[in-house]
């Protein structure tokens, strides 16, 4: 007998969510068709009655979110009350599990993560339906499309992957426990953040597809979804880098990105989503690339579904993926149907997507956006090829061939450097065409910065021709550092040029003028800050060419030296808790003869329920702006029982995490409304060349504009 009613409550909630979602989809679709002149003529039913049906469908969609909230609550409650009658809870939780990780059990397994997908989609749909008055008809189309996506996931939960299945046999006294790799603080927020990004791209997709279906005039759908897309992109960005930091801190291999298939699954929609965010500016300002933009957002959404397939079906081996599952067929069918809907809608409505202008010059802001998009899509194609190559090779030759990190690095490093270069030159180019005089004026300081940086670094000892086998990686790092200096100079020059104009007008100091400049055009200068953060991350990534590692058996008093550091082993200790046993080393760290810190890397063995034990590495590191000292307790030598420690010295890696903080800050700034309403004629300020006189005129108009 089930002592806890919550599993039954959760199952009924999912059934109710399925019915309400079906009502939302079918009722909304019929209402949209019936309210058209053709629908009214064929059925004889007045438009007002169809509109009432549409309102009922909208309310059903809102109610479906409430039902999904109940289902998610039921699963979390079952975890907190140790209801091991539920197979999912028995497999992913245990009595001694930390409460935070009991909550994380919601997304630690396949069924729970699919429930999280459906719940987040319901939450996004709830917001869309509550804000439907922004544009009633377009929101109705978007609501129906979101309901169709939600219907698939809820049906999957009810039929193929039910999270409330009762475990066979007598109720277990304890559960198997959470995967020890997930028992880390960042794993409480990393998956939800990643899913907020994954699921969120369904909203701009729904608006884009809906706008195309109804031949929506103009670019209003882009204005409606711009903040949706930016917030979704930010969630996905944070999710990716939280995952990278988790891999760096937990897996104990000294790196943060291993080109694992599931890592790639999150990167692919990020690349196309980034391209979409850039290219929609072309459509907003110049009425160009409409076909391109529609397919970018279609592709981004389809890649989020493909990424979910990779992690849920087990078709590709990964440390992140779940076991092989029959739900893969469901995802294949959904991807095919979604693609066909997109393709057929595009073919029927492609005449609605004619560009209003053409590319006038290869040296222009438009061309920089186009090249930027091509580079991002080339990177995405590279990642897709490498990820699916094992499947293709097995199908073609019968043997599975895996593409290693060397393939991705060899192809993507030049692509990344090209993208870094375009990040710097894009803002320096004018719309339509840029004159040679403007190029000379705007590029002189960044070019000097690149040249000086390269010379100084070579004098300091970064000389590729002296590094033997590492010549290629050292060369690329030198190029990355030089390009980064040029891009930073270009960004700083843009800020100081605009701030100088504001200071002339207002009499404020340079810093206050810069703040006012940003507040007057948050989208533009927030974008510059995002670019600055990306450059900072490139600096951190480029430091990886100079990583070092030492591995050694250690006992009391033994010493390891690496770079400027000397590590002395003070003890090797064992300890035990209710959830795990641990072996750890106490290492005193010296630099220049002075003790600066003590590190204690661990090797834990968890009592994962009643089935088996699981080992986990707990990294200890000392991080500075210069480098990370990264220590790992590898285990013991089976011959003599001596502990083995591995120490990495990773230069500049902290700048990756600093860079993502800057990106988050820049995105928040870009989302904030401008301090003043910018007149239409000022929005075209970039259509003229970015001369000081043009900047002065634009800033004067901004100063005269009324406050919001």
Query: 691 in a domain, yes or no?
Result: no
Identify whether residues 301 and 343 lie together within a single domain.
yes
Of 180, 201, 226, which closes a domain?
Answer: 180
**What residues pair up with 580 in beta bridges, in sequence order?**
606
Per-residue pLDDT band at 662 (split at 50, 70, 90): very high
Q: Please, what sign has the CA dihedral across residues 15, 16, 17, 21?
A: positive
- Structure-token pair, residue 410: 């060899």
Q: What pLDDT does residue 640 have?
A: 77
Q: Which residues contact 1 (CB under 8 A, 6 or more apart)?
A: none
CA separation for the pair 349, 540 (Å, rounded): 45
Identify whether residues 159 and 227 lie together within a single domain.
no
- Structure-token pair, residue 496: 């100081």
Q: What pLDDT does residue 297 have?
A: 94
pLDDT in tens, 127-186: 999 988 888 889 999 999 999 999 999 999 999 889 999 888 777 777 787 777 777 888
Which SS3 state, helix, strand or coil, does residue 29 take? helix
pLDDT in tens, 317-336: 555 544 456 788 899 999 99
Q: What pLDDT does residue 315 have?
A: 66
Q: What pLDDT does residue 314 have?
A: 60
Q: What pLDDT does residue 337 have?
A: 96
Which one is predicted more confidently, 459 or 343?
A: 343
DSSP 159: I
Of 141, 158, 180, which closes a domain?
Answer: 180
Identify whether residues 202 and 174 lie together within a single domain.
no
Q: With the CA atoms of 466, 467, 473 and 479 taken in that order, what torsion angle do they form, in degrees rounded to the nearest 10? A: -20
Identify whether residues 158 and 298 lie together within a single domain.
no
Query: 391 in a domain, yes or no?
Result: yes
Matching residue, tokens 């009595």: 95
Which one is predicted more confidently, 401 or 531?
A: 531
Number of C-beta neighbours around residue 657 at 10 A: 17
Span of 369-373, 537-541, 560-564, 606-610 with lowest mean pLDDT: 606-610
Identify whether residues 256 and 390 lie together within a single domain.
yes
**What residues pair up with 647 in beta bridges, in sequence order?**
550, 631
Give kind and range of the element (H or E) at residue 153.
helix 136-155
pLDDT beyond 60 at 75: yes
- Structure-token pair, residue 295: 């397919």
Per-residue pLDDT band at 122 (split at 50, 70, 90): very high
Which SS3 state, helix, strand or coil, does residue 632 take? strand
Query: 430 in a domain, yes or no?
Result: no
Cβ pair 632, 619 in contact under 8 A: yes
Which one is predicted more confidently, 560 or 167?
A: 560
Q: Please, what sign has the CA dihedral across residues 250, 256, 258, 263?
A: positive
Identify whether residues 10 and 150 lie together within a single domain.
yes
Nearest to 190, CA basis, from 139, 116, 246: 246
- Structure-token pair, residue 699: 């800033």
Q: What pLDDT does residue 313 have?
A: 63
Number of C-beta neighbours around residue 603 at 10 A: 21
Identify whether residues 174 and 199 lie together within a single domain.
no
User: What average pLDDT score do residues 451-477 get?
Assistant: 81
Of 132, 153, 180, which closes a domain?
Answer: 180
pLDDT in tens, 300-312: 999 999 988 887 6
Per-residue pLDDT band at 1 (split at 50, 70, 90): very low
Per-residue pLDDT band at 201 (split at 50, 70, 90): very high
**What residues pair up with 590 in beta bridges, in sequence order?**
566, 595
Q: DSSP for 498-540?
A: HHHHHHHHH---HHHHHHHHHHHSHHHHHHHHHHHHHHHHHHH
Which one is predicted more confidently, 556 or 697?
A: 556
pLDDT beyond 50 at 82: yes
Per-residue pLDDT band at 467 (split at 50, 70, 90): low
pLDDT beyond 90 at 206: yes
Cβ pair 87, 161 in contact under 8 A: no
pLDDT beyond 90 at 209: yes
DSSP 582: E
CA separation for the pair 197, 231 (Å, rounded): 8
Query: 158 in a domain, yes or no?
Result: yes
Query: 577 in a domain, yes or no?
Result: yes
Identify whether residues 162 and 252 lie together within a single domain.
no
What is the separation of C-alpha 168 from the centre of its chain, rounded to a whole number of angstroms? Answer: 39
Identify whether residues 88 and 123 lie together within a single domain.
yes
Number of C-beta neighbours around residue 171 at 10 A: 15
Q: What pLDDT does residue 673 have?
A: 87
Q: Please, what sign has the CA dihedral across residues 680, 681, 685, 687?
A: positive
Which one is predicted more confidently, 416 or 463?
A: 416
Identify whether residues 256 and 405 lie together within a single domain.
yes
Question: 71: buried, middle or exposed (CB in 10 Å: 19+, 13-18, 0-12)?
Answer: buried
pLDDT in tens, 264-287: 889 999 999 999 998 888 777 777
Query: 305 in a domain, yes or no?
Result: yes
Q: What pLDDT does residue 706 have?
A: 29
Span of 248-262, 388-402, 569-583 with lowest mean pLDDT: 388-402
**What residues pair up with 583 in beta bridges, in sequence order?**
574, 603
Question: 297: buried, middle or exposed (CB in 10 Å: 19+, 13-18, 0-12)?
Answer: buried
Query: 526 in a domain, yes or no?
Result: no
Number of C-beta neighbours around residue 341 at 10 A: 15
Supply φ then ψ for residue 603, to 5 degrees: -125, 115
Cβ pair 279, 287 in contact under 8 A: no
Identify whether residues 193 and 161 lie together within a single domain.
no
Range of the domain at 212: 184-353+369-423
Q: What pLDDT does residue 608 have?
A: 58
Find the CATH number of the domain harbouring 619.
2.60.98
Q: What is the pTM of this model?
A: 0.88
Which one is predicted more confidently, 227 or 40?
A: 227
Identify whether residues 554 and 593 lie together within a single domain.
yes
- Per-residue burial over 119-153, b if 16 or more Cβ lie within 10 Å, else e, is bbbbbbbbebbeebeebeebbbbbbbbbbbbbbbb
Q: How many domains does the chain have?
A: 3
Query: 471 in a domain, yes or no?
Result: no
Percent of the chain with pLDDT over 70: 89
pLDDT in tens, 370-381: 888 899 999 999
Q: What pLDDT does residue 359 have?
A: 64
Q: What pLDDT does residue 683 have?
A: 42
Give kind and range of the element (H or E) at residue 240.
helix 220-250
Cβ pair 349, 136 in contact under 8 A: no
CA separation for the pair 463, 458 (Å, rounded): 5
DSSP 707: B
Q: What pLDDT does residue 691 have?
A: 39
Number of C-beta neighbours around residue 92 at 10 A: 28
Which one is predicted more confidently, 248 or 436?
A: 248
Percent of the chain with pLDDT over 90: 43
């Amino acid at each position: 007998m089930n002592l806890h009613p919550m599993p039954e409550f959760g199952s009924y909630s999912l059934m109710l969510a399925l019915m309400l979602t079906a009502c939302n989809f079918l009722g909304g679709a019929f209402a949209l068709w019936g309210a058209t002149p053709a629908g009214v003529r064929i059925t004889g039913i007045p438009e007002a009655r169809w509109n009432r049906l549409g309102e009922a469908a909208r309310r059903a969609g809102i109610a479906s979110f409430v039902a999904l909230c109940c289902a998610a609550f039921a699963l979390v409650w079952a975890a907190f009350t140790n209801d091991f009658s539920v197979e999912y809870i028995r497999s992913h939780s245990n009595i001694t599990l930390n409460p935070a990780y009991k909550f994380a059990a919601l997304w630690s397994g396949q069924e729970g993560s699919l429930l999280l997908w459906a719940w987040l989609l319901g939450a996004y749909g709830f917001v869309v339906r509550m804000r439907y008055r922004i544009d009633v008809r377009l929101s109705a189309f978007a609501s129906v499309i979101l309901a169709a996506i939600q219907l698939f996931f809820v049906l999957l939960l009810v039929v193929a992957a039910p999270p409330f299945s009762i475990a066979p046999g007598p109720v277990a006294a304890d559960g198997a426990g959470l995967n020890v790799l997930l028992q880390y603080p960042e794993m409480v927020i990393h998956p939800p953040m990643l899913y907020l990004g994954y699921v969120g791209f369904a909203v701009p997709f729904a608006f884009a597809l809906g706008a195309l279906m109804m031949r929506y005039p103009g670019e209003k759908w882009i204005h409606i979804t711009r903040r949706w897309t930016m917030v979704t992109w930010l969630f996905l960005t944070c999710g990716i880098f939280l995952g990278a930091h988790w891999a760096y801190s937990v897996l104990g291999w000294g790196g943060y990105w291993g080109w694992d298939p599931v890592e790639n699954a999150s990167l692919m929609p990020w690349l196309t989503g980034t391209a979409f965010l850039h290219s929609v500016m072309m459509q907003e300002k110049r009425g160009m690339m409409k076909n391109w933009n529609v397919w970018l957002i279609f592709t981004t959404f389809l890649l989020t579904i493909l990424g979910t397939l990779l992690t849920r079906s087990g078709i590709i081996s990964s440390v992140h993926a779940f076991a092989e599952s029959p739900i893969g067929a469901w995802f294949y069918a959904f991807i095919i149907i979604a693609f066909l809907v997109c393709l057929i809608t595009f073919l029927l409505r492609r005449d609605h997507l004619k560009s209003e202008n053409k590319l006038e010059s290869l040296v222009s802001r438009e061309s920089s956006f186009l090249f930027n998009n091509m580079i991002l899509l080339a990177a995405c194609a590279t990642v897709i090829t490498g990820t699916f190559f094992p499947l293709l090779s097995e199908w073609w030759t019968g043997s599975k061939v895996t593409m290693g990190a060397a393939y991705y690095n060899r192809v993507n490093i030049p692509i990344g450097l090209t993208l870094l270069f375009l990040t710097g030159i894009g803002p320096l180019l004018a719309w339509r065409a840029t004159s040679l005089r403007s190029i000379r004026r705007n590029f002189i300081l960044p070019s000097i910065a690149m040249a000086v940086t390269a010379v100084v670094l070579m004098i300091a000892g970064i000389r590729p021709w002296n590094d033997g086998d590492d010549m290629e990686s050292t060369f690329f790092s030198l190029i990355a550092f030089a390009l980064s200096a040029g891009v930073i100079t270009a960004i700083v020059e843009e800020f100081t040029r605009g701030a100088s104009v504001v200071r002339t007008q207002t009499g404020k100091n340079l810093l206050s003028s810069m703040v006012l400049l940003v507040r007057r055009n948050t989208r533009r200068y927030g974008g510059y800050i995002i670019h600055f953060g990306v450059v900072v991350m490139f600096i951190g990534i480029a430091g990886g060419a100079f990583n070092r590692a030492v591995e050694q058996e250690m006992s009391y008093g033994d010493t390891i030296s690496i770079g400027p550091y000397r590590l002395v082993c003070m003890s090797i200790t064992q300890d035990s808790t209710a959830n795990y046993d641990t072996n750890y080393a106490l290492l005193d760290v010296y630099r220049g003869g002075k003790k600066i810190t003590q590190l204690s890397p661990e090797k834990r063995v968890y009592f994962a329920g009643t089935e088996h034990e699981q080992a986990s590495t707990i990294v200890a590191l000392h991080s500075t702006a210069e480098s990370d000292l990264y220590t790992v307790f590898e285990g013991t030598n089976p011959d003599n029982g001596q502990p083995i420690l591995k120490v990495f010295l990773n230069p500049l890696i902290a700048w990756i995490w600093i860079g993502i903080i800057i990106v988050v800050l820049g995105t928040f700034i870009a989302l904030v409304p401008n301090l003043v309403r910018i007149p239409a004629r000022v929005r075209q300020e970039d259509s003229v060349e970015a001369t000081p006189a043009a900047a002065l005129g634009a800033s004067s108009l901004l100063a005269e504009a009324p406050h919001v």
